[in-house]
Structure 1
Amino acid sequence: MLTVDKANIQLGSLTLARDMSFDLKPGQITAILGPNGTGKSTLLKTLFGEIKLDSGEIAYCGHRLSYQSLAQWRHQFGYMPQDINLDVNLTVIEVILLGRLDALSLRVDDQTLNQVLHILDNIGIAHLANRSVNTLSGGQCQMVLFAQALMRDPAIMMLDEPVSALDLHHQHVLLEHLVCQTREKQCITLMVLHDLNLAAQYADNLLVLKQGDLVACGHPKQILTSELVEEIYNVEAQVITDDTGVPFVRTLRSKKAA
């Protein structure tokens, strides 16, 4: 279990986390929701050790985050940041292999190469294997970075807006594969999403942030309400339940325009 206990994060005069506590369990996907600038990406960077806590504690399986041994802490993560520049003269296969940089030798063995090809095939981009990444579209690069994170076979998967550049088909391909990876490997998965309906469909739990506060935490069926959407996003909305029992959010208008 990954535990965040009374975390406080302050950047200058801006409070990005205020006395924040929650647990993330193996085999479950948690989606972070909230308006722009509310600290969603900052929370991921804090868990990864890029941003220091002002106070509080982060621990995984009883081991506390220590800034003196970050390499050891980060070894268990597959982290896909929001913005990565892939303007490099490397093939897709080479970029994905970088996910195993700590275990690579001068010669890539057949087992490792087959693992890369298997991942590419599973997420539907095997045809890109020998393409240079600087010739790919934004959505294709996003799928390559997802494959790189999978290549680490991580205990903790963290993805910052992993479907922002993807078309509808590839959004579902990525998220369906993420569900399979999380269940089969019993890893902890945490992702930032802006699409409330994708979050409701694919996440086991939601963390809803606003102005540095964790205002709601729980299963989408329990916490995703029209009142919550109005409070967080300042819009009028209807939340209905589809035939499978999943909440569906229909936004109507900005409250300011009403």
Structure 2
Amino acid sequence: MVSLEVRNLSFSYGATSVLKNINMKPLPGKITAIIGPNASGKTTLLKCICGILKPIEGSVLFEGREISKIRKEELAKHIAYMPQENPAVAFLTVFETVLLGRLHSLSWRVSDEDLEMTLKTLESLGISELSSRFLSELSAGQRQLVYIAQAVVHQPRVLLLDEPTSNLDLQHQLEVLDLIKELTSEMRITTIIALHDLNLAAKYSDEVIVLNFGRVYAAGKPESVLSEDMLRAVYGVSAKVNAHDGVLQITILNSIRKRLAKKKCG
């Protein structure tokens, strides 16, 4: 059953159009990766889906209801959003930070269930030993795990992640996405991730949506979307796409625009 649907969504910042007629039906238990060049609208789309931004046209539906008609407190129980930048709050411990993921209204009072779910989430993500440490004391990779824990501690139906692997080394990128893949499958979450790294999108996503100038250029399984023709048309690069052990591997060869510029100069 589809719990989330985006219908004919368009968004503008003033006179500047950012998203145009976006449609998508991501599935529970699956990861949908949103890719595209810089300023293609990836972050804006995530903010429209979670209700931070209001589209000028179209709608976002959660279980058949427009999110604009759902109370924010109720919506926060079902849709979790992890932005690209999460500044560390020096005076909060890991436990307190994750516990705040249970906050749905200003009248919230901590219950035994809140405390129990926080402990369980820390344990399931393998970071319970960090619970008493302050965020400012953690590495970038550890902080990302804490913010993921904060996003899933209230067991959301929809998880929106904006560049969750940014500023992480290769090992931590894989560890974070392995964890997200596992949580998505086990908890039947509808997960949407904005990514820059195309090889990570190929490895971890069940569906890929390519945005270009605010429009959906292509959508489908990674093997049908991540093609050499798409990379040339959308990213302006020459590339080789090969499959290894059932996973696509993309090798960027050179920039088409630079090559054309050299020819003109010659």
TM-score, normalised relative to structure 2: 0.89
Q: 1:176 aligns with which of 175, 178, 182?
A: 178
* Matched residue SS, 1:52: coil
* Matches of 1:118 and 1:74, distance apart in 2: 20
CA deviations 1:197-251 (Å, max 9, x no partner) are: 11111100011001111000000011110111121211111000112x2211001
| Deviation (angstroms), 1:68 | 6.8
Contact 1:28/1:183 (<8 A) preserved: yes
Partner residue, 2:238 = 236
What does 1:242-257 correspond to in 2, within 5 Å?
242-243=244-245, 245-257=246-258
Q: Which runs of 5+ in 2 are unaligned?
A: 260-266
Partner residue, 1:224 = 226
Q: 1:90 aligns with which of 56, 79, 92?
A: 92
Q: 2:52 aligns with which of 35, 50, 53?
A: 50
* Matches of 1:165 and 1:118, distance apart in 2: 27
* Matches of 2:171 and 2:196, distance apart in 1: 17
The alignment yields a C-alpha RMSD, in angstroms, of 1.9
* Matched residue SS, 2:181: helix
* Matches of 1:122 and 1:198, distance apart in 2: 23
| Deviation (angstroms), 1:40 | 0.3
| Deviation (angstroms), 1:167 | 2.2
CA deviations 1:35-76 (Å, max 9, x no partner) are: 111110000000111111101111111111225733322321
* Matches of 2:161 and 2:253, distance apart in 1: 29
CA deviations 1:71-118 (Å, max 9, x no partner) are: 322321121111122233011111000011239635x53x64454344
Q: How many residues are paired up?
A: 255
Partner residue, 1:209 = 211
* Matches of 1:152 and 1:114, distance apart in 2: 11
Q: 1:257 to 1:124 in 2, by over 3 A?
A: farther
Partner residue, 1:74 = 76
Partner residue, 1:123 = 125
Q: Which runs of 5+ in 1 are unaligned?
A: none
* Matches of 2:171 and 2:18, distance apart in 1: 34
Contact 2:37/2:212 (<8 A) preserved: yes
* Matches of 2:84 and 2:45, distance apart in 1: 13
* Matches of 1:9 and 1:225, distance apart in 2: 28
TM-score, normalised relative to structure 1: 0.92
2:127 maps to 1:137: no
Partner residue, 1:188 = 190
Q: 1:112 to 1:69 in 2, by over 3 A?
A: closer
* Matches of 1:200 and 1:27, distance apart in 2: 17
Identity %: 37
Partner residue, 2:109 = 105
What does 1:7-18 correspond to in 2, within 5 Å?
7-18=9-20
